[in-house]
């Protein structure tokens, strides 16, 4: 079962939270900035050692001061109208996160709305991709959580999950 919640991803006690990062992995705004602030300066140091990340890929660090044991940093695509392979790149973000989680034998993972903030990916398209990937991988995990930034985002995810 996929949990759909409205809340703060930095407060979740899970094996891994996913960070909607930029290609530098060195922090930014939104979820990325909140994760970096909460995890502490060790996260920035660990990210420097990763030497960035390509769009559609993901990399793992410890969670440091976060309640989550790990952070899986993934770089979603910037929306450019839908004709620049954005949907495939976003799908790849989810696949890579699940792949890393399986390699680490993690049982619980929480995702924000990847690319739906400053990267302007349309929320409904992004939510459909997220839910499709979560459903395809749910047999391998005890908990998969979609952490929504707003109540309206949570309602969107719930409506789509209910097949409406």
Neighbours of 52 (CB within 10 A): 16
Average pLDDT over residues 2-29: 97
Q: Which residues of 4-42 are buried (b: 16+ CB within 10 A; e: fewer)?
A: beeeebbebebbbbbbbbbeebebbebbbebbbebbeee
What's the pLDDT score for residue 93? 98
pLDDT in tens, 20-52: 999 999 999 899 999 999 999 999 999 999 999
When the pLDDT of each residue in the chain is averaged and rounded to a whole number, the result is 97
Annotated catalytic residue: which of 8, 15, 32, 140? 32
What's the pLDDT score for residue 87? 98
**Residue 1 — very low, low, confident or very high, per pLDDT cuts 50/70/90?**
confident
**CA–CA distance, 96 with 73 (Å, rounded to integer):** 10
Q: Is 57 a catalytic residue?
A: no
What's the pLDDT score for residue 164? 67
Residues of the chain with pLDDT > 70: what percent?
Answer: 99
- Is residue 65's pLDDT more than 80? yes
Q: Is residue 51 exposed (0-12), middle (13-18) or buried (19+ Cβ within 10 Å)?
A: exposed
The residue ranges of every structural domain in the chain are 2-161
- Is residue 77's pLDDT more than 80? yes
- Is residue 16's pLDDT more than 90? yes
Residues 6 or more apart whose Cβ sits within 8 Å of residue 121: 76, 77, 78, 79, 86, 90, 114, 115
**CA-wise closest residue to 140 among 109, 162, 161, 96:** 109
The alpha-helical segments, DSSP class H, found in the chain are 30-39, 41-48, 86-103, 123-137, 151-161
What's the pLDDT score for residue 11? 98
| Look-up of token digits 């930034």 | 149
**CA–CA distance, 143 with 109 (Å, rounded to integer):** 6
pLDDT in tens, 97-138: 999 999 999 999 999 999 999 999 999 999 999 999 999 999
**CA-wise closest residue to 19 among 40, 4, 33:** 33
What's the pLDDT score for residue 49? 97
Neighbours of 118 (CB within 10 A): 12
Name the DSSP class of 22: -
CATH code at 2-161: 3.40.220.10
The pTM of this model reads 0.97
């Amino acid at each position: 079962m996929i949990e759909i919640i409205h809340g703060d991803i930095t407060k979740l006690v899970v094996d891994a939270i996913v960070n909607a990062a930029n290609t530098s992995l060195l922090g930014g705004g939104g979820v990325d900035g909140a994760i970096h602030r909460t995890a502490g300066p060790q996260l920035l140091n660990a990210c420097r050692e990763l030497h960035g990340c390509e769009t559609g890929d993901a990399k793992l660090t410890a969670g440091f001061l976060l309640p989550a044991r790990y952070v899986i940093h993934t770089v979603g695509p910037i929306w450019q109208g839908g004709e620049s392979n954005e949907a495939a790149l976003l799908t790849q973000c989810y696949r890579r996160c699940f792949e890393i989680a399986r390699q680490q034998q993690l049982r619980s993972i929480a995702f924000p709305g990847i690319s739906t903030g400053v990267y302007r990916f349309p929320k409904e398209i992004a939510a459909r991709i997220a839910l499709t990937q979560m459903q395809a991988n749910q047999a391998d995990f005890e908990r998969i959580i979609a952490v929504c930034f707003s109540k309206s985002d949570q309602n969107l995810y719930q409506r789509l999950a209910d097949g409406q």
